[in-house]
Amino acid sequence: MTRSLYVRTVLVFIAAVIVSLVFAFVLAIHMYSSNVKSLAEGQIIAHGKKIIAELTEASPADLDAVMANAVEVPGLRVKIMDANGGTVAYGSGGSKQGTPITEAQLRLVLQGGIYRGMVSYGKDEHAGPSFLIGLPFQLGDRPYALYITPEIVRLLDMFRKFTLTVLGYVLAAGSLLILLAARYIVKPVQRLTDATKRMAKGDFGVVLASKRKDELGVLTSGFNEMAGSLRMLDKLRSDFVNNVAHEIQSPLTSIAGFSKALRTKALTDETRGRYLTIIEEESQRLSRLSANLLRLSVLQQDRELHNPAAFRLDEQIRRCVIASEPQWRAKGIEPELELDGVTVVGDADSLEQVWHNLISNSVKFAEPGGRIAISLRREDDAAVAEVRDNGRGIERDELQHIFTPFYKADRSRDFAVKGNGLGLSIAKAIVDMHGGSVDAESDPGVETRFTVRLPIRPDAASA
């Protein structure tokens, strides 16, 4: 039961309230007794002087009656002593001898001084220590001492009972409010727990509504973002599996169909050769798909450069253009090169694949006799390479997806344009591994431009 966050929250809050109330009770009693003493002292002295005035003004015949009435004051203990230390009068609320007075206290007052001090009643009437005021006066030519002490213990006892009653009601009301407040606090956490359990079972469509702006609101918002990311990842995984299955199934179907035809039909040598060529091409296509999948998996898991070296990027791009000459020659294209001398530090073999993929894509989608322009320049601490062509282009709503594995802008999957949709994904992964970026812009029918930015390390300049 105590493992519940709701129960723990309530118990912690109630414990905090109890500790606070105990502290408040002790502090209130202390402040009350201090304030009572400071406020009552002046009033007690004034009341003592009033009693002395009544005694000195009374006639000898009425003196006993006046003195008897003077010592009977509600809330005060009054005692009158003579020069011999005898008790002349004391209030009926006191003990048998009234307030206990020491010889030193008596001598000080009889000599004309005002005594301010403490007095203890011991076990008498269960009274504790209290402060004592002593005032001198004379009746005729004989000195007397008037002692007054307030019954603070009784007042404090009443105050304690009143305070405990109030604090008890406060504790009860506070506990009830804490029960409600804790439910308000814990309820979003319980919703998050339930949503997490649903998500663990594969339900990524969970969305939690929350208008809170506190930490729980931020947590709920973060959960919704995580759920959205997982939904996207789940969709990408599903699309990835579908695309892989499609890319594998198509060549396998072709290989199986033409193999069956070779085995069951009487074919001419020309037809048999054409079938064998198709089987070989489809086999090579499967091999490229497998190699690209393995390459993409390695790049996604290992994003660190191993054994980077400095090399001339312009010379590498120029070699890639020359290596792809059969492709652009076949379409009657003459690439336009504008390459500045730039040295970078990185994995030369991986970056060569980037240029090969981008140049191959431009040649693949360029119109026969079209234009391809490749440039390289240095901007501040970055090498900027651009590959432009005037082919069919890419629609604006498709630009954000072209670096997704297996994505093809030609939705009909026209296999006259060879490719498995992994080239740009691999190129982006390699550029990201080098700490750079790759962007695509396109104006369909006018120009498509891929821009690659690679950081130039300080040690590359001296290479």
Give the pairing type, strands 372-379 and 336-339: parallel
Cα 23 from chain centroid (whole Å): 33
- Residue 123: the pLDDT is 54
Give the pTM: 0.48
pLDDT value, residue 376: 92
At 377 the pLDDT is 92
Q: Name the token pair of 301.
A: 């898991």
Structure-token pair, residue 148: 């007054």
From first to last of its 463 residues, what are the pLDDT tens digits of the chain? 446 666 777 777 777 778 887 877 777 777 766 666 666 677 778 888 888 888 888 887 777 788 888 778 777 788 888 888 888 888 765 444 567 888 888 888 888 888 888 777 655 444 556 778 899 998 888 899 988 887 666 666 677 777 778 878 777 887 777 777 777 777 777 788 888 888 888 777 788 877 777 777 788 888 888 888 788 777 767 766 776 776 677 778 888 888 888 887 677 888 888 888 888 888 877 777 777 677 666 666 666 776 788 889 999 999 988 888 888 888 888 889 999 988 998 888 888 888 888 888 888 888 888 888 999 999 888 999 999 988 777 877 777 777 776 666 554 434 444 555 677 888 888 888 888 999 888 887 778 889 999 998 765 554 4
Q: Hey, how many other C-beta atoms are within 10 angstroms of the C-beta on 318? A: 17
> How high is the pLDDT of residue 296?
67
Q: Return the pLDDT at 460.
A: 52
pLDDT of residue 136: 92
State the CATH class of domain 303-461.
alpha beta
pLDDT for 3: 60
**Which pair of tokens denotes residue 206?**
């969970």
Cβ-based neighbours of 256, under 8 Å, separated by 6 or more: none
Delimit the domains of the chain by residue range.
5-156, 215-298, 303-461
Distances (CA, A) of 175 to 10, 181, 216, 328, 355: 8, 10, 23, 82, 70
DSSP codes of every residue in 422-437: -HHHHHHHHHHHTT-E
Identify residue 403 by its one-letter amino acid code.
F
The fold adopted by the segment(s) 5-156 is Beta-Lactamase (3.30.450)
Instruction: Please say whether the beta carbons of 314 and 376 come within 8 A.
Output: yes
The string of DSSP codes covering 245-309 is HHHHHHHHHHHHHHHHHHHHS---HHHHHHHHHHHHHHHHHHHHHHHHHHHHHHHHH--S-SS-E
Is residue 208 classed as helix, strand or coil in its secondary structure? coil
Q: What is the CATH number of domain 215-298?
A: 1.10.287.130
* CB atoms near residue 38 (< 10 Å): 9
Amino acid at 336: E
Q: What's the confidence (pLDDT) of residue 307?
A: 73
- In this prediction, residue 452 carries a pLDDT of 92
Two tokens, residue 392? 């069919």
Query: Among all chains, which residue has been given the structure tokens 């079972």?
Result: 201
Q: Which pLDDT score is estimated for 375?
A: 92
